[in-house]
Amino acid sequence: MKILTLNCGSSSIKFDVISTSVEVMQKGQDYSIVRGVIERIGTENAIVRYKLPNGDGFKGEEKILDHKIALKRIVDILTGDKPRILNSLSEINGVGHRVVHGGESFSKSVIINDAVENEIIACSEFEPLHNPQNLSGIKVASEFFPSIPHVAVFDTGFHHSIPAKAFLYALPYDIYQKYKMRRYGFHGTSHRYVSQQAIKFLGIPSENSKIITAHLGNGCSITAVSGGRSIDTSMGHTPLEGLMMGTRCGDLDPAVILHIMNKEKLNIADADSLMNKKSGLLGVSGISNDLREVEEAREQGNERAKLAIDIFCYRLKKYITAYAGALGGLDALVFTGGIGENSSLIRELSTNGLEFMGTKIDLAKNNANGGRICKEDRLVDISAVGTDGNYSRVRTLVIPTNEELIIARDTVLCIEKLL
Ligand code: ADP
């Protein structure tokens, strides 16, 4: 089967066509035929980029004023002559959509029908930024692909296994009953993919495995995965909770924000923007939300950049140890996402001092290739080897995430009625 995966944001659409089937995915032999993105949708100079595995591709600026035009452009890319990617659009067997919030309704991916669409709309209350965008992507894609199944794959789905003691906030219980205020967690497809890859690599029985996965990108979250199931995760009711991020503050004493609102006369939107857009690496360093720029400033002796990175890593380390405790042991710690895959500094500082719990990285392996994962790497083991020739008890792995692959696989499983 060939599955088109779509990730629709407010001004971008990421797309991928993946060749897979139940048999092929079991062997891990599914692969991407083309992968691309259209950014700055709604402008005269939108960026269109795509790449084929043989290195062929395209990057250019074009006028793309809405998502429908963007999807038409994607269809043209797929069916164009140069390069020839598909002979016809009918080769696509299903479309898998990333949907950020599935609330309490969706523990698994589902074929989209009217009832599912209504639920996605209902969950927009929790995720007003992304869910409406995801849904309009679904509607536009249904116009181009009216007669094949469309499947919704939820960021929150993997975290449905989190028990009540970990998903409930210690607020009056009726707040949960009335408003479904609880931890939902995000980045679920990424945590699911890299934890599965880690278990496969270690060759341990999935049911006994204890893995911590740190997805560190612009948004950052960390998950405790026991027996292949998420048992706790750092993002909460919204993606604001947990680790420090590019522009988000992460964990915070809630009284602090009430106090600032009072002192600075902020309304709800101002307070939301303060915590979501002006904090994190950007807020502390005063330089950028982009870790590369903060690392550069740190190199040049900038104290605030150093402080931002120190806070980022200290908090990450605290979560790693907390989750090792929650899991009652640890087989592997996995780094993924733009930061996790590329910043040897963050990996080093956030694991430094964890030797007491069996986590020790090899600095040379961590720094190889400038700390960046190579394109062809599917997994890099940066664990130290002791004088006895054995790896450190807890393995530290760097695994490039592949959310699109999980979306494509789930789409096939839904089509085959296996989910
Ligand atoms: P998103 O969450 O938007 O998908 P990514 O997963 O691409 O984002 O992660 C973006 C983050 O990764 C940025 O903070 C960026 O600075 C960081 N990053 C990417 N490459 C490197 C690198 N070589 N060194 C340090 N940080 C990097």
Question: Residue 211 — very low, low, confident or very high, per pLDDT cuts 50/70/90?
Answer: very high
Q: Say if residue 262 is in the same domain as residue 389.
A: yes
**CA distances in angstroms from 349 to 58, 193, 270, 331, 358, listed in the order given:** 38, 25, 33, 20, 16
Q: Contact 216/340 with Cβ under 8 angstroms? A: yes
| C-alpha of residue 165 to centroid of ligand 1, in Å | 33
> Is the CB of 340 inside a 6 Å radius of any atom of ligand 1?
no
Nearest atom of ligand 1 to the alpha carbon of 291: 16
Confidence of residue 129 (pLDDT cuts 50, 70, 90): confident
* The residue type at 111: I
> What is the token pair recorded at 304?
């605030």
pLDDT digits (tens, 9 = 90+) for 334-392: 999 999 999 999 999 999 999 999 999 999 999 999 999 876 678 999 999 998 999 99
Mean pLDDT for 248-270 is 98
292 lines ligand 1 (CB under 6 A): yes
Q: How many CA atoms lie within 13 A of 377 on its CB side?
A: 18
342 lines ligand 1 (CB under 6 A): yes
Question: What is the maximum alpha-carbon separation in the chain?
Answer: 63
Residue ending a domain, choose from 120, 154, 188: 154
Q: Which residue in 74, 78, 97 sits closest to 87, CA to CA?
A: 78
Same-domain check for residues 256 and 341 = yes
The total of structural domains in the chain comes to 2
Residue 196 in any domain: the answer is: no
Q: Are residues 55 and 145 located together in one domain of the fold? A: yes
Q: Name the residue of 11, 100, 216, 218 to mutate for ligand 1: max ligand atoms within 8 A of Cβ.
A: 218
The confidence score (pLDDT) of residue 174 equals: 97
* H-helix or E-strand spanning residue 231: strand 229-233
CA 13 → CA 20, 255, 379, distances in Å? Answer: 22, 38, 27
Query: What backbone torsions phi and psi does residue 269 show, to the nearest 5 degrees?
Result: -65, -40
Mean pLDDT for 11-36 is 94
357 in the same domain as 259: yes
Residue nearest (by alpha carbon) to ligand 1 atom 7: 338
Q: Of the residues 125, 154, 183, which one is the last residue of a structural domain?
A: 154
Look at ligand 1, atom 22, and give the residue with the nearest C-alpha: 342
Instruction: Judge if the beta carbon of residue 288 lies within 6 A of ligand 1.
Output: no
* pLDDT tens string 47-101: 999 999 988 999 999 999 999 999 999 999 999 988 889 999 999 999 999 999 9
Question: Do the domain assignments include residue 31?
Answer: yes
Helix, strand, or coil here: 4? strand
Q: pLDDT at residue 11 above 80?
A: yes
Whether 70 and 215 share a structural domain: no
Go through the chain and tell me how many residues it has.
Answer: 419
Residue 217: CB within 6 Å of ligand 1?
Answer: yes
Domain annotation covers residue 189: no
Structural domain includes residue 76: yes
| Residue 169: predicted pLDDT | 98
Give yes or no: residues 45 and 103 share one domain. Answer: yes
Cα end-to-end span (Å), the chain = 17
Run of H or E including 328: none
167 versus 82: the higher-pLDDT residue is 167
Residue 148 lies in a domain: yes
Is the per-residue pLDDT at 112 higher than 80? yes
**Range 149-176 average pLDDT:** 98
Indicate the top mutation candidate among 339, 349, 367, 404 to test ligand 1's pocket, ranked by most ligand atoms within 8 A of CB: 339
**pLDDT, tens digit, for every residue of 278-336?**
999 999 999 999 999 999 999 999 999 999 999 999 999 999 999 999 999 999 999 99
Residue 328 backbone zone (phi > 0: left; psi -120 to 50: alpha; other: beta): left
pLDDT-based confidence at residue 126 (cuts at 50, 70, 90): confident
Same domain, 135 and 243: no
For residue 40, the one-letter residue type is R
> What does pLDDT average to over the chain?
96
Average pLDDT value for residue range 147-158: 97
Same-domain status, 230 and 350: yes
Answer yes or no: is 197 within a domain: no
Residues 115 and 232 in one domain: no
Do 141 and 210 belong together in one domain? no
How many CB atoms lie under 10 A from the CB of residue 4?
31
pLDDT at residue number 375: 67
Look at residue 267 and tell me if it is in a domain. Answer: yes
Q: Which domain holds residue 239?
A: 204-398
Ligand 1 pocket mutation, candidates 155, 213, 289, 342, criterion most atoms within 8 A of CB: 342
- Laid out side by side, the sheet with 395-398 consists of 229-233, 220-226, 210-216, 332-336, 395-398, 380-381
d(CA 277, CA 45) in angstroms, rounded, equals: 25
Looking at residue 155, what is its pLDDT?
A: 96
185 within ligand 1 shell (Cβ under 6 A): no
Q: Which atom of ligand 1 is nearest to the CA of 294?
A: 16
Of 93, 123, 154, which residue is a domain's last? 154
Shortest-distance atom of ligand 1 to CA 372: 23
Q: What angle do CA 56, 62, 67 make, to 5 degrees?
A: 100
Residues 297 and 371 reside in one and the same domain: yes
C-alpha 375 – ligand 1 centre gap (Å): 15
Query: Does ligand 1 have an atom closer than 6 angstroms to the CB of 287?
Result: no
Q: In the prediction, which pLDDT does 226 show?
A: 98
Do 13 and 137 touch, CB atoms closer than 8 A?
Answer: yes
- In-domain check, residue 180: no
Q: Which residues contact 313 (CB under 8 A, 6 or more apart)?
A: 346, 349, 350
Residues 334, 213 contacting (CB under 8 angstroms): yes
What is the CA angle 274-279-284, rounded to 5? 135
Same domain as 225, residue 369: yes
Task: Give me the CATH number covering residue 263.
Answer: 3.30.420.40
Catalytic annotation, residues: 155
Q: How many CB atoms lie within 10 A of CB 375?
A: 6
290 lines ligand 1 (CB under 6 A): yes
Q: What is the pLDDT of residue 9?
A: 87
